[in-house]
Amino acid sequence: MRDPRYGDREYDYLERYIIEEMVEDYQEQQIPRREMIRRVLLITGSIPATASILLAMGCGPSATATNTVPAAATTGATTAAATTAAATTAPRAVSPTTGAAATATRPTTPAPGTATRPATATRVATAGGTATRAGSPTPTPNPVTVSPTDPAIEAGPVTFPGQGVTLRGYKSQPRGVAEAPGIIVIHENRGLTEHIKDMTRRYAKDGYLAVAVDLVSRRGGTDGVANPGDIPAILGQQANRAELGQDLLSTVDYVKGLPNFAGPKVGVVGYCFGGGMTWLLATLSEDIGAAVPYYGPPPEPIDDVQKVTAAVLAFYGENDPRITNTLQAVEAAMERYGKTFEYKVYPGAGHAFNNDTGPNFNAAAARDAYQLSLDWFERYVQS
């Protein structure tokens, strides 16, 4: 069903996702109003359309930025009842933090071809507090947690062939290991940042050959964009959709062709926009054994999940209704098509809770989700 906020033009789900991200950034006081308008205009290409969309989203001339989120994305979103349904499943996945520690869960191995919720286990994650735009915990000022010169790994920029383009990326791997399981790390809508490079190094420290592709490669790469604020619009433009899919497939080929790739399957993990790209790649490639989207929009139409052959573990923040409201439709579709699917909703966590350089960082949720990601890759990529 067409979202009335977008008028008569058809915007695909990733365009809508990026526009709503920009509005959310403004409403949460990350960017000024003028910058929000400029970025949305890069997507719509029309001043009247931009004005109409922003007015429909509560960002009219008299609006002021507040700590609120825009209406739920239309990508598979249901009514307010879906919000309640998603939130009320959370106690089965994570107990709300009540003190110095929070009881979390580990997904259990599902029966083949079933969609499941994680069962309660006994993992304990130390509380990191509920992160908010203005509150704690404070994000790390330095995006590096694993140094590129760490003696346990080898890390650095790479280039590899795409379809009609040389793709840029960043590769990290365990030092001195003849073979390692391979995973692809997909960046947020800010491009290939230092934080994402650091995520590849974290996975390398845990034994993985990890490659992050720069999905801005066809526009000169993330570092080649003069105004970093333009990157979300570049990534969100519908005209680039086929190229993004092809560049992801080229990355799969690159990882599989590395001499130290253990194979046979590749894992993929992505964050924010990269979470959406993780879903997309899972629908495009049978070489993906495990997919881990963090707070990303699902495919549209939702029935595209029938093409998924990977085991999917998805993470959501309770305070991220724009994305978490899509969960009910995702779960139903994955179950309908007999797919292996588990998810976890973190109480008190918002969008981008994993990014320890951003204002929504939630240490407890990020720590637990990372360990569960490792468990998932061990189960479905290494086995």
**317 touches 90 (CB < 8 A):** no
Residue 163 and residue 307: Cα distance in Å, rounded? 23
Residue 14 has pLDDT above 50, yes or no: yes
Contacts of 160 (CB under 8 A, 6+ apart): 166, 167, 169, 250, 251, 254
Tokens of 104: 């979390």
Q: What is the pLDDT of residue 109?
A: 42
Q: Average pLDDT, stretch 258-277?
A: 97
Neighbours of 109 (CB within 10 A): 12
Burial annotation 116-134 (CB, 10 A radius, 16+ → b, else e)? bbbebeeeebebbebbbee
**105 touches 94 (CB < 8 A):** yes
115 versus 235: the higher-pLDDT residue is 235
Q: Which residue blocks in the chain are alpha helix, DSSP H?
A: 13-27, 33-44, 47-56, 80-93, 194-205, 231-236, 241-257, 273-284, 321-324, 327-336, 363-380
Rounded to 5°, the CA angle 203-204-206 comes to 65
**167 touches 247 (CB < 8 A):** yes
- State in Å, rounded, how far the first CA of the chain is from the last one: 41
Active site residues: 272, 320, 351
Q: What is the pLDDT of residues 324-348, one digit of tens each?
A: 999 999 999 999 999 999 999 999 9
**248 touches 214 (CB < 8 A):** no
Strands 120-126 vs 101-105: parallel, antiparallel or unpaired: antiparallel
What domains does the chain contain, in order, with CATH numbers?
4-56 (no CATH), 82-380 (3.40.50.1820)
Q: What is the pLDDT of residue 91?
A: 29
Residue 329 and residue 86: Cα distance in Å, rounded? 10
Q: What is the pLDDT of residues 129-171, one digit of tens each?
A: 333 333 334 555 567 899 999 999 999 999 999 999 999 999 9
Longest CA span, the chain: 61
Q: What is the pLDDT of residues 174-211, one digit of tens each?
A: 999 999 999 999 999 999 999 999 999 999 999 999 99
3-state secondary structure of 244: helix
